[in-house]
Structure 1
Amino acid sequence: MTDKHEDDIEKPQSDKDTGDDTLVLNEDVENSRVEAVALVVPITDDPTLNAITFRYWIISTFFAIIGAIPLTRLESSWKSTSLFDPSLLVASLSLNPGPFNIKEHALIGITVSTAAGAAYAIDILSATDLFLNYRIGAVGSLILIITTQCVGYGMAGLLRKYLVYPAEMVWWSNLVQVVFYNGMHGTGEFKTIKMIRGWSYMQYFWVFCGGMFIYEFIPQLIAPLLITIDWLCWVNPFNKNFWALFSSVSGGGILSLSLDWTSIGGATMWLPLSAQLCTYGGVVLNYWIILPIMWLNNVLGTKSIGKPLTSHLFYDDGTPFNIKEVLNPDFTVNWDLYNSGKPANMAPMYALGFMTSFIALAGCVSHIMCFHGADIRKNWKAAVGSEHEDIHTKMMKVYPEVPQLWYAIFYVIMASLAIIACEVYALQLPWWGLLVSLALGFMLTLPICAMVAITGFGPGLNVITELVCGYMLPGKPIANMTFKCYGYMAMFQCQSLLSDLKLGHYMKIPPRSMFIGQFWGTLVGSCFNYLTMILIIDSQRGILNGSKDDPAGLWTGQRVDTFWGSGLIYGALGPAKMFAFDGKYWFVYIGFLIGFIFPVILWVLSKAFPKYGWSKINIAIIAGGMGAYPNGYTIGVLPSFIVSMIFQGYIFRYYKGWWKKYVFILSAALDTGAAFTGLVMFLFFSGGVSSKLAIKFPHWWGNYADENDTTAPYMSSDRCGSYKNQNWTGGV
């Protein structure tokens, strides 16, 4: 028997310390085995409610388009790290007779959320456009986007029995939405619960949502200094060592503060504490301990690169490496040209990031096998048709399931279209390479999605897919990015669909309605993701490709830049050259060994000393924290830790009643308010609707300095001194 996360999963118990109006568990009524689920997910259902109506099509399509345009822009190009769920913005419009029901509302939210997420294929299209000046046509681009978004659906259909039906597969982020929807529609106990001052659930929500909406204009518009308070830099703002260690924009961000809620996020209030502490521990280890050691001792030439955190490649003297100089007309590497010149190098901290990715992946598989393998096998056997079946799974049996054949046909169609995209549109990836990427994603989806469902954290497949393709097809950067996109997205979209299926499970939405809603959101989102990408690249090309600075500090090509940097390392030059065993970066492969062995050691200790919660030390999550900021912007680490300790470490332990009653709705309110501010900022203050409508706040010491002001370079977007300043002290 494994040792469980005591603060993650607990048996339902009578709630004696909750107060008069708090949700109280009735021990005589069958409920979920997971305490948090039993507290907030109702065990009632009305099978007569329709989720798909005429009103659903109108509202979901409208908000899906809105979400796909501004929210995709915010996610891919703006310096915001909010964990906001766009479904919370959906309004209760009435376009046909009958009350707007909770299932209809939830399915609209799921459709909008699916459409609003930035498609991973956008990074391929953006990277080739920005760095190779190669733009794939509209038809090929849409096929690429849609197929990469949809290949995981067939896998989700196969895995739903194992990763949705068992009670232990919580999918934590869904609990916030369950509380929001039930609170808004006043279902069951949510109708009678009174919050502070006698407010209803939704009155409480809108008060705190409105307060956060107003507050967020301070850090996002009036005083952006509050986003990254690198206060240790102020001791010596023009010392390069201080900048490298304490700047949260391009350095380690040691002890940096932030008063911007989008840098913190509501998830810190309810995600399992043990998992959060593992993440913060990884961040501190890598960016607050290892980075200073490597920088101050110039390990592997760290200082010669200029920045401690960057995904760009350089020559030994720190001169930027230009891949275009060694490419053939078909964008493959001309090895004769490359070998006749100087070799390319990467920032050592960026190389270390690849190592932590290998640790995370191997650690995820090993940890799940060691600590959860026996329980998961037991739960799978009991998932359907046994006396230990979850109450919500029993309740969903009144609805017709989506046949496995639907998912199989859908998968085959999308895989076939993907082959056409690769063969026709010069993506450098042969059909057999595509099949290898899909197979790789399929094999690793189960352990990764299981960890996400249980802990709320999990590694990605982006690095391992890059590695495999780099050995298979060296010298082909576009092929590598495409292989990564299909291999990674097969897993990620499967994970996203499984999470939504669990939300539908909690909300009792018919499975066939869920299938339709997910696909519709993907289709609408793909089209408008592409349109948004074209508009952004055409208007902000210089800033996104790094040839120009953004004086306002609102735009960044960080995501695409990192994506392209990985494409160069694994695709153009290949792991055989970059990570050769006789080269500088051979150590990255040790990550696989560390990730596999560490959980085994902890598992042995758990058998020898069972009183201690060894399973809470999760090497995969620690490594995820170590690789959280490969290209800078180490923002919100310390304030996120503080918030998690207040809500999870203190309130949950000593005022559990208050925590159960308020935390999920408060989290949703704060995230929604901050997201509303970001939306208004995009539409008006940054010229999202029209550049003529852009509003700029007057320059003062609390915001970014005027780009023409040379008297205060320490007030630029990098608030720890300008790295372009020539009067550095304390460093090269």
Structure 2
Amino acid sequence: MWWPSNLVQVSLFRALHEKEKRTNGGVTRTQFFVIAFICSFAYYVFPGYLFEMLTSLSWICWIFPNSVLAQQLGSGLYGLGIGAFGLDWSTISSYLGSPLASPWFATANVAAGFFFVMYVLTPLCYWLNVYKAKTFPIYSDSLFRSDGQKYNITAIIDSNFHLDLAAYEKEGPLYITTFFAMTYGVGFAALTATIVHVALFHGRDIWKQSKSSFAEKEMDIHTKLMAKYKQVPEWWFIVILLVNIAATVFACEYYNDQLQLPWWGVLLACAIAFFFTLPIGIITAITNQAPGLNIITEYIIGYIYPGYPVANMCFKVYGYISMTQAISFLQDFKLGHYMKIPPRTMFMAQVVGTLIAAFVYLGTAWWLLETIPDICLDTSSLWTCPSDTVFYDASVIWGLIGPRRIFGDLGTYEAVNWFFLGGAIAPILVWFAAKAFPHQEWIRLINMPVLIGATGMMPPATAVNYTTWILAGFLSGFVVYRYKPEWWRRHNYVLSGALDAGLAFMGVLLYFSLGLEDVSLNWWGNDLDGCSLASCPTAKGVVVTGCPVYN
């Protein structure tokens, strides 16, 4: 199988290294990359600094500046994002990756899943006031009390960062927005859907391929060409695995007061990552969309070891991120396989790159925490850290308070667990439909793990990230099948890489030249969304600063 994201890397490699002749007076792919890169680099100064509203153009809010309902519907950042779109590549690619690198059927699955959750399930639950939905914003990743005010997390944590039960009983149960609860539900469903889908649609192929690998039968042309190189001994991987597990266990035991995670938690996290790498890897290889293990890892350790938020975060990292990194390494090996890079060279590049990245990431994080005031706090004008905020909220929900008091028999959202069953049933229905109508090939393109898990990045991703990504994906697909498909196929992935590179370089330049000195422009064009009422509750008697009170 081939990862679509690898095609971007291959196209860039060829564009920058292979000699290419012009055809019919056109430009080479190298020239096209440079042109697109310069355009992307120059343009990002507008959404990145001069005209930040280009990130989310929520025009419905402009028409109805005093209507809570209209802004709930139209806000791309704090509402349902109806009609909202962005003229900013970072809006498109920040969370879902490049739409140009995803096959059209995967884009269609994401679109179907997003529209169902965002425009059917969420409005239905909100206006039926499911889980007191109207007491809270229609879209938010914040944690609330039953009266609609922000939950005081520090009040329920003791000096050892454990849950203070007496303080928790005094503060009351924790509430999340109904949308947030539904996204956790679809996360449950996506997990079971992944297992069932892979078993039904790919189980036979996995079994045949496994037997073929052990039997060492005929090799394809790529494998034959790679056979002339020295292979990487398996014991190299095993040694690295065992050394890392041993080091992790030692760190968790030696620094147990800080990390909170016992040794068996490390082994359990590794087992979860090992089990799910194959099914999730298959889904990723086919669709370029990867279902995550973040929710199930939090859920498992939260039930087994409640009241320890740092342990929950560590377990999530060792389980979820290990699987993600494994798939990333597989992508690299697949790229090296098709580009005929010697396996040992690829192995050393990965090891050295990982070591360098570890120190660079740690140093960068340390520097940011020391130099940026109010980083990741609401008071920060630049460093709001949406992904880290959701990570922190998850540690409170799953680690500190625990799933039993949120999604279990002691919690408010117990019914959300039925999503596990729904996710397991959905691929079975598609499988039966494919068997009943074998000539309808489009049925087999319905990928339930991707469709159900489409909103898995929300929050921190917002509605405008999805609407713009889907729009760009469909436009790309339309161009491929209607206009100059050969030219587009040659330049599609090069364009994707050039847009990413231009955005990255201008983003870094803007930060070091203007962001460090907190030089900003204060005008209406830099009001990111212009939908100040979108986060207002609509329940009677709930008082929130800046919002109307309903009687």
Partner of 1:483 in structure 2?
A: 315
The TM-score with structure 1 as length reference comes to: 0.70
- In 2, Cα distance between equivalents of 1:730 and 1:513: 65
Amino acid across the alignment from 1:423 = E
Confirm or deny that 1:555 pairs with 2:395: no
Confirm or deny that 1:721 pairs with 2:532: yes
1:417 to 231, 247, 250: 247
State the 1:557 CA deviation: 2.2
1:234 to 44, 58, 62: 62
Confirm or deny that 1:280 pairs with 2:111: yes
Q: Secondary structure at the match of 1:702?
A: helix
Does the Cα contact within 8 Å between 2:126 and 2:178 map onto a contact in 1?
A: no
Confirm or deny that 1:406 pairs with 2:236: yes
Q: Secondary structure at the match of 2:259?
A: coil
State the 1:661 CA deviation: 2.1
Q: Against the structure 1 CA distance between its residues 513 and 228, is the aligned structure 2 distance closer, same or farther, given a 3 Å change threshold?
A: same
Q: Tell me the alpha carbon deviations over residues 117-169 of structure 1, each in whole angstroms, 9 at most, x when there is no partner.
A: xxxxxxxxxxxxxxxxxxxxxxxxxxxxxxxxxxxxxxxxxxxxxxxxxxxx1
2:507 to 674, 678, 692: 678
The TM-score with structure 2 as length reference comes to: 0.92
- In 1, Cα distance between equivalents of 2:550 and 2:350: 53
Partner of 2:347 in structure 1?
A: 515
- In 2, Cα distance between equivalents of 1:468 and 1:260: 38
Counting only pairs closer than 5 Å after superposition, residues 383-394 of structure 1 correspond to structure 2 as: 389-394=219-224
Confirm or deny that 1:351 pairs with 2:162: no
- In 1, Cα distance between equivalents of 2:234 and 2:114: 42
Partner of 1:625 in structure 2?
A: 454
1:427 to 250, 256, 259: 259
Partner of 1:634 in structure 2?
A: 463
Kindly report the root-mean-square deviation, in angstroms, between the aligned alpha carbons of the 2 structures: 2.3
Q: Tell me the alpha carbon deviations over residues 19-60 of structure 1, each in whole angstroms, 9 at most, x when there is no partner.
A: xxxxxxxxxxxxxxxxxxxxxxxxxxxxxxxxxxxxxxxxxx
Q: Tell me the alpha carbon deviations over residues 187-224 of structure 1, each in whole angstroms, 9 at most, x when there is no partner.
A: xxxx3442574322211210121122112212222211
- In 1, Cα distance between equivalents of 2:12 and 2:522: 39
Which range is displaced more, 665-674 or 357-366? 665-674
Amino acid across the alignment from 1:597 = I
Q: Against the structure 1 CA distance between its residues 406 and 525, is the aligned structure 2 distance closer, same or farther, given a 3 Å change threshold?
A: same
Amino acid across the alignment from 1:604 = F
Q: Against the structure 1 CA distance between its residues 644 and 731, is the aligned structure 2 distance closer, same or farther, given a 3 Å change threshold?
A: farther
Amino acid across the alignment from 1:200 = T
Does the Cα contact within 8 Å between 1:313 and 1:344 map onto a contact in 2?
A: yes
Partner of 1:659 in structure 2?
A: 488
Q: Against the structure 1 CA distance between its residues 385 and 212, is the aligned structure 2 distance closer, same or farther, given a 3 Å change threshold?
A: farther
Q: Tell me the alpha carbon deviations over residues 295-349 of structure 1, each in whole angstroms, 9 at most, x when there is no partner.
A: 33432112222x2233332221012222322222211112233234422222221
Does the Cα contact within 8 Å between 1:685 and 1:695 map onto a contact in 2?
A: yes
Q: Secondary structure at the match of 1:544?
A: coil
- In 2, Cα distance between equivalents of 1:430 and 1:624: 31
Q: Against the structure 1 CA distance between its residues 379 and 648, is the aligned structure 2 distance closer, same or farther, given a 3 Å change threshold?
A: farther
Confirm or deny that 1:375 pairs with 2:205: yes
Does the Cα contact within 8 Å between 1:332 and 1:476 map onto a contact in 2?
A: yes
Does the Cα contact within 8 Å between 2:404 and 2:411 map onto a contact in 1?
A: no
Q: Against the structure 1 CA distance between its residues 237 and 293, is the aligned structure 2 distance closer, same or farther, given a 3 Å change threshold?
A: farther
State the 1:391 CA deviation: 2.1
Does the Cα contact within 8 Å between 2:53 and 2:529 map onto a contact in 1?
A: no
- In 2, Cα distance between equivalents of 1:315 and 1:192: 63
Does the Cα contact within 8 Å between 1:543 and 1:549 map onto a contact in 2?
A: yes
Counting only pairs closer than 5 Å after superposition, residues 223-372 of structure 1 correspond to structure 2 as: 223-265=51-93, 267-305=98-136, 307-372=137-202
State the 1:387 CA deviation: 6.8
Does the Cα contact within 8 Å between 1:229 and 1:256 map onto a contact in 2?
A: yes
Q: Against the structure 1 CA distance between its residues 726 and 475, is the aligned structure 2 distance closer, same or farther, given a 3 Å change threshold?
A: closer
Q: Against the structure 1 CA distance between its residues 381 and 298, is the aligned structure 2 distance closer, same or farther, given a 3 Å change threshold?
A: same
- In 1, Cα distance between equivalents of 2:411 and 2:161: 25
Q: How many residues align?
A: 537
Confirm or deny that 1:176 pairs with 2:5: no
Q: Against the structure 1 CA distance between its residues 541 and 622, is the aligned structure 2 distance closer, same or farther, given a 3 Å change threshold?
A: farther
2:474 to 645, 648, 652: 645
- In 2, Cα distance between equivalents of 1:516 and 1:230: 48
Partner of 2:540 in structure 1?
A: none
Which range is displaced more, 175-184 or 492-501? 175-184
Amino acid across the alignment from 1:482 = C
Q: Tell me the alpha carbon deviations over residues 592-636 of structure 1, each in whole angstroms, 9 at most, x when there is no partner.
A: 111111111111111110112222111211122233312463223
Does the Cα contact within 8 Å between 1:383 and 1:390 map onto a contact in 2?
A: no
Partner of 1:594 in structure 2?
A: 422
Aligned-residue identity in percent: 34
- In 1, Cα distance between equivalents of 2:343 and 2:268: 30
Does the Cα contact within 8 Å between 1:544 and 1:557 map onto a contact in 2?
A: yes
- In 2, Cα distance between equivalents of 1:181 and 1:398: 23
- In 2, Cα distance between equivalents of 1:340 and 1:702: 44
Partner of 2:370 in structure 1?
A: 538
Does the Cα contact within 8 Å between 2:231 and 2:343 map onto a contact in 1?
A: yes
Partner of 1:567 in structure 2?
A: 395
1:614 to 436, 443, 454: 443
Amino acid across the alignment from 1:315 = R
Q: Tell me the alpha carbon deviations over residues 281-308 of structure 1, each in whole angstroms, 9 at most, x when there is no partner.
A: 2222222332233333432112222x22
Confirm or deny that 1:440 pairs with 2:251: no
Amino acid across the alignment from 2:459 = P
Greater relative contact order (CA < 8 Å, ≥ 6 in sequence): 2
State the 1:242 CA deviation: 2.5
- In 1, Cα distance between equivalents of 2:21 and 2:119: 45
2:524 to 701, 705, 723: 701
Q: Against the structure 1 CA distance between its residues 222 and 545, is the aligned structure 2 distance closer, same or farther, given a 3 Å change threshold?
A: closer
Confirm or deny that 1:526 pairs with 2:358: yes
Partner of 2:26 in structure 1?
A: 198
Q: Secondary structure at the match of 1:563?
A: helix
Does the Cα contact within 8 Å between 2:404 and 2:410 map onto a contact in 1?
A: no
Q: Secondary structure at the match of 2:227?
A: helix
Q: Tell me the alpha carbon deviations over residues 252-306 of structure 1, each in whole angstroms, 9 at most, x when there is no partner.
A: 222211100122248312411111111122222222332233333432112222x
Counting only pairs closer than 5 Å after superposition, residues 120-131 of structure 1 correspond to structure 2 as: none
Amino acid across the alignment from 2:433 = L
Structure 1 unaligned regions, length at least 5:
1-168, 704-714
Does the Cα contact within 8 Å between 1:283 and 1:628 map onto a contact in 2?
A: no
- In 2, Cα distance between equivalents of 1:718 and 1:336: 41
